[in-house]
Amino acid sequence: MKSPHGSDELKPLFVYDPEQHDELMHEAENLPSVVISSAAAGNAVMLGGGYFTPLTGYMNLADALSVADTMHTTDGLLWPTPVLNLMQDVSAIRSHKRIALRDPNVEENPILAVMDVEDIEEATPEEMEHMAEKVFGTLDSAHPGVATFLSQGHFVVSGPIQVLNFSYFITDFPDTFRTAVEIRNEIKERGWKKTVAFQTRNPMHRAHEELCHMAMERTGADGLVIHMLLGKLKPGDIPAPVRDAAIRKMVELYFPPNSVMVTGYGFDMLYAGPREAVLHAIFRQNMGADVFIIGRDHAGVGDYYGAFEAQEIFDTIPEGELQIEIFKADHTAYSKKLKKVVMMREAPDHTKEDFVLLSGTKVREMLAQGIAPPPEFSRPEVAQILMDYYQSLNK
């Protein structure tokens, strides 16, 4: 199992000690408080669960700008995206050094964390746009990541936090949400010697399923962690409970016993393409995976990134700064010639017509009409779950 990123041990910021937790909750009720953005809340959940090891809280402006420019903090830690608590209005907390952060995504905005405020800085519009352009590769307001980043506010509130709850993820996804601490522990309990991680924000079709089998076989892994994003997506993406049900059915029927963990994490998609791919690799190293699958257009949206930019960025990372092994995957599809799913680059004698290829739009149309995609594309049991969902939208 790989060591955590930049540290000998995992550093979850959730307060696990019951007595200390109670004391902090009581203290927090009497502190000045502010409802933070969904992005900042996602950062708190990830800090709490140890996924952001070795960070101790929200970055200041100097670190955020350094990360945007160099993919490293000012003290040299590899980190690809700023981890910020951006606010529109800081009048309620400006003179306070200790504050409570409230959850924007849960009714009545319960306390999410207690924060020691080290600095409140005002980023200029130029600095905000500079960070956005570096991280997302564009300033196009139609890019969902850019729009979200630039809408949160320009006050950078930095400092360490103590996390007191995991937002709605524990209650809404009790069987799926797991911290990096829990996943590390379960990998040890299962006795896996080498673990592959697969990130998804979509249901898994045959190509994804076979890609996981390929990665395990080629890297000699005996375990697979399917790690679903459970936070906010863009409109039109399939809700997490539907994805969860479809993936669990696939694992139950098409993977050997004790070879797969189906888990999820509480974070909103950034849609930052290559930069987010590096962030995702850090998450997986922190949760104990040895290998991470990066496919075509990983964490991309629209046509903002090249098909393999999310793989190529790893070639720019200095050796030793990231321990996790990257399994670089091509587009996978069912070959009519070979009668199995293959990576398209490994079938040079094939033309496009030799593969079963369906666009996402076409698949959604079929499912909405109650038409199962061909079994070469999607397992029938998985397709049924998705058909039920899409048809429920039309009722």
d(CA 33, CA 25): 12
Q: How many CA atoms lie within 13 A of 131 on its CB side?
A: 26
Q: 226, 263 in Cβ contact below 8 A? A: yes
- For residue 130, which of 70, 67, 65 has the smallest C-alpha distance? 65
Give the number of other CB atoms < 10 A from CB of residue 102.
18
Residues 6+ apart with CB under 8 A from 362: none
Return d(Cα 90, Cα 206) in angstroms, integer. 49
CA-CA distance, 164 to 166, in Å (whole number)? Answer: 7
**Side chain identity at residue 27, one-letter code:** E
Contact 307, 200 (CB under 8 A): no
The one-character DSSP state at 371 is P
Structure tokens at 121: 């800085």
Between CA 282 and CA 297 the distance in angstroms is 18
How are beta strands 332-335 and 355-356 bridged, if at all?
Answer: antiparallel
Q: Would you give the DSSP letter of residue 72?
A: B
- CB contact set of 41 (below 8 Å; sequence gap of 6+): 101, 103, 104, 105, 112, 167
Q: Is 248 a catalytic residue?
A: no
Cis peptide before 54 (omega within 30 of 0): yes
- Who's near 356: CB < 8 A, 6+ residues apart? 333, 334, 336, 374, 376, 377
CB-CB contact of 174 with 25 (8 Å): no
Distance, in Å, from the CA atom of 29 to the CA atom of 231, rounded to the nearest integer, reads 26
Report whether 277 contacts 295 (CB < 8 A): no
Has 206 been annotated as catalytic? no
Tokens coding 253 = 């029927």
Catalytic residue among 98, 201, 248, 364: 201
**Is 221 in contact with 196 (CB distance < 8 Å)?**
yes
Out of 109, 202, 248, 364, which one is annotated catalytic?
202
By annotation, the residues acting in catalysis are 201-202
